[in-house]
Structure 1
Amino acid sequence: MRNRIVVLACLAILASCLDPYIPPIKPGDVNILVIDGSLDATDGTASVVLSRAVTLDQPDEFPSVRGAFVAIEDGNGNTYPLVEGDSGTYKIAAVPIDDKAHYRLHVITSARDEYYSEFVDPLPTPEIDSITYIVDESKLTVRVNTHDDSNQAKYFRWTFDETWNYHAGLLSQYIVIGKGQLRFRTPDEMIYYCWNTKPSYDIVATSTTRLSKSVVSQFPVQYITAGSLKLQMRYSILLKQRTISEDEYEYLEQLRKTTESIGGLFDPQPTAVTGNINRVMPASPVALGYFSVGRTTSKRFYINASDLPKVYREIYPPLGCIPPDTVCGMAGNGCAMTIADLRPGDILGTAAVKGYVLTSTRCADCRVEGGVTTKPDFWED
């Protein structure tokens, strides 16, 4: 999971009517390396993302760090280099896992700044017992249940991929192939039904240290507002669970509190988020991040729109999807256009009494909302 790291300026506000203060921090003044990496001890896959911290006025810009040497080392002296991909992401597919071994991350940037994480032990993770959901008038909450009979797992973290099946506002059955020429769409050309998949970015973790037994009951992992396109037809969540150490849990809690709230006059001031990654030379930029190792368990869960209250099934066409016009077969029927006026790229819906429904891409192409028309291999109808 890539977490947003921004530089926060703590300001003492003496009166509520002061003009806003913009901290005099320029993007070039921020030189902090952000390292987000993990090794999945279940299958030996690892992913590390390197980027730079940004100022508050650059919330959507995260400069990637390319050309770095990134490797995982074990306590036996073995080194496993990762391969660089897109956007500062480095990956490896098969690190040999020894549950009794220790692992650490080693990074050398193109500027020769060098970093090591602390050695981390793989932790066993219990299975997910079940996934449930509850609804109220405004939102649906996905919840998880798990437990550890050995009472060893005390800290848990969840990430997930969510996929939803939805459809466009209007059905387009025809393609305009030339001036005044149209034909039916083939099955592969239909753009009415789509599937969209997104990973989680929020920090979702909890602790059972205050309980006599390690039991997680009905813990919320995701919220979906009523009327969301995610719940138009069918929704699926692939929930991934991992036991984490106390140190990682404390790091995630600090990070969550710092990134989720800028802070008001009476809010706790942000604390330093450090992690377990250290620079070799003091002159190198500070590194923020945590390298973790653990086994992952997962479970997929589906929610059908037909099982939800009516308010969740009232999904309206996208904003700007106006009522369609009609294209007549011939002039003189009170239509603004005839088939002869059509050009390639015009979107036709279904056949109408006078001719055909003329609409827009935003109304009739489900891909506008970011999805694809190919059903995922795992999808169950």
Structure 2
Amino acid sequence: MKKLFYSCVVVLLVMSCKEQFDPPVTAPVNGYLVVDGIINSGTGSTNIRLSRTVNLADSARMNNERNALVRVEGEDNSSYPLAEVAQGLYSHPQLSLSRNVKYRLYIKTSDGKEYVSDYSRVIPTPPIDSIRWEQPGDLQLYINTHDPLNKTLYYRWEWEETWEFHSAFTTQLEYAYGRPGEITGIKYRFPNQNHDLSKYYCWKHGSSTNLIIGSSAKLSRDSIDLPLHFIPRGSVKLSVLYSIKVKQYAVSREGYDFLQRMKKNTEQTGTLFDAQPSELVGNIHAKNNPNEIVIGFVDVADQQEKRIFIRASEMNNWGYRTGCTELIVPNVLDSILAYSYLMPTSVEEMTPFGDILSYRGSGPTCVDCTLTGTNVRPSFWP
């Protein structure tokens, strides 16, 4: 959700007019506090992100709220502290919450200000039925779920994706150096002349950045089947093996209405006719200043999750291309230096005595996949 609140508008410019429009809301110098997350009463971690709103001119900058004291509090006087595990991200690995108790979020920022959400009951979340996909050309993923009791009605989803990819070429060669930075020739990476596969197998990760919500309130049956994620044809994500894990939460009617307003504000271009920041007030309040605007809505719900894998062999004419080529370089110092921007890959020609006459080379990202990913295999990877 890192980009979710970037565009909470403090200053709006009228696109069709020459004069600047000054909204009736005056933002504090350090911006409004933004709280994003759900208190997870089920299996898995609870993650709350704290940040501050920024002006449109600074929308590429994330203003995280650091060094806050954050905890989950129960009406039974139970308390669960959340640790700051990354800038502005506060987490607890596993809460053990009772369905018979209401809970709230407590925040004390580094400047001493205190904020609390309303006490909320635990909302049961039904399991995810399936994550399905269609691929007529591009790949479209869908989320499917239902509540047989017809009680949930309002949902929110987040996803995390991981994909395996390979470098276009392996390498068995490397540059030889004299003094640091001074290339003196080409040599084998290993004495046995094997290719280096540590730079060949890699993985990369991504996560949802937009709000994904859905409701069956207007339907006769509490059943959801919605587009979840889109991957364009030819993407490297489906070059070998792709996986997506989806987290599903039930939310309250009030929480869903807030998320709908937030979704409109963050996905529309700011104009005179867009919703104003004051409309984003949720269920979080400043303890000592009821007039202070706080953006966010915190529900308490079980987390349900499901993961699927999709292999490249399941794609129909996916069309992935690396765009990488190799050049043949003579093994003489002038040529080596002229093409030093390439990464050497393999021997092209050698003498009967094993001396290298010429070699192949390609762009660094075509040879070393760790330049764009990690070669640490995920624990869940098959």
Residue of 361, 375, 381 corresponding to 1:379: 381
User: CA offsets per residue over residues 263-309 of structure 1, 9 Å max, x none?
Assistant: 457x6545621121011122885211122221111111122222223
1:180 counterpart SS class = strand
Question: CA offset at residue 87 of structure 1?
Answer: 0.6
Counterpart for residue 174 of structure 1: 173
Question: CA offset at residue 235 of structure 1?
Answer: 1.2
Counterpart for residue 88 of structure 1: 88
Counterpart for residue 206 of structure 1: 214
Question: CA offset at residue 97 of structure 1?
Answer: 1.1
From the superposition, tell whether residues 351 and 22 of structure 1 become closer, same or farther in structure 2 (CA, over 3 Å).
Answer: farther
Q: Which runs of 5+ in 2 are unaligned?
A: 178-183, 350-356
User: CA offsets per residue over residues 226-254 of structure 1, 9 Å max, x none?
Assistant: 22221222211011112111111111111
From the superposition, tell whether residues 164 and 23 of structure 1 become closer, same or farther in structure 2 (CA, over 3 Å).
Answer: farther
Counterpart for residue 37 of structure 2: 37
Distance in 1, Cα, partners of 2:327 & 2:55: 48
Distance in 2, Cα, partners of 1:224 & 1:131: 14
Distance in 1, Cα, partners of 2:21 & 2:365: 38
Amino acid at match of 2:90: Y
* Preserved CA contact (<8 Å) 1:277 1:291: yes
Matched, 1:120 2:120: yes
Q: How does 1:1-381 map to 2 (within 5 A)?
A: 1-2=1-2, 3-5=4-6, 6-10=8-12, 16=16, 18-19=17-18, 21=20, 29=29, 31-43=31-43, 45-137=45-137, 139-178=138-177, 179-184=184-189, 190-217=198-225, 219-263=226-270, 268-270=274-276, 272-282=279-289, 285-310=292-317, 312-317=318-323, 323-329=325-331, 337=335, 347-353=343-349, 355-369=358-372, 371-380=373-382
* Preserved CA contact (<8 Å) 1:33 1:288: yes
* Preserved CA contact (<8 Å) 2:153 2:217: yes
Distance in 2, Cα, partners of 1:67 & 1:126: 35
Question: CA offset at residue 224 of structure 1?
Answer: 1.0
Question: CA offset at residue 62 of structure 1?
Answer: 1.8
* Preserved CA contact (<8 Å) 1:153 1:214: yes
2:149 counterpart SS class = coil
User: CA offsets per residue over residues 151-190 of structure 1, 9 Å max, x none?
Assistant: 1111111111101111234333333353325224677763
Amino acid at match of 2:232: T
Question: CA offset at residue 374 of structure 1?
Answer: 2.1
Distance in 1, Cα, partners of 2:242 & 2:106: 39
Amino acid at match of 1:182: K
Distance in 2, Cα, partners of 1:304 & 1:40: 32
* Preserved CA contact (<8 Å) 2:114 2:286: yes
Distance in 1, Cα, partners of 2:375 & 2:44: 32
* Preserved CA contact (<8 Å) 1:180 1:343: no
Distance in 1, Cα, partners of 2:366 & 2:150: 53
TM-score by length of 2: 0.84
2:257 counterpart SS class = helix
Amino acid at match of 2:345: G
Identity %: 28
Distance in 2, Cα, partners of 1:85 & 1:133: 34
- Structure 1 vs Structure 2 CA RMSD: 3.0
Aligned residues: 362
Distance in 2, Cα, partners of 1:305 & 1:344: 34
1:190 counterpart SS class = helix
Distance in 2, Cα, partners of 1:10 & 1:84: 33
Amino acid at match of 1:162: E
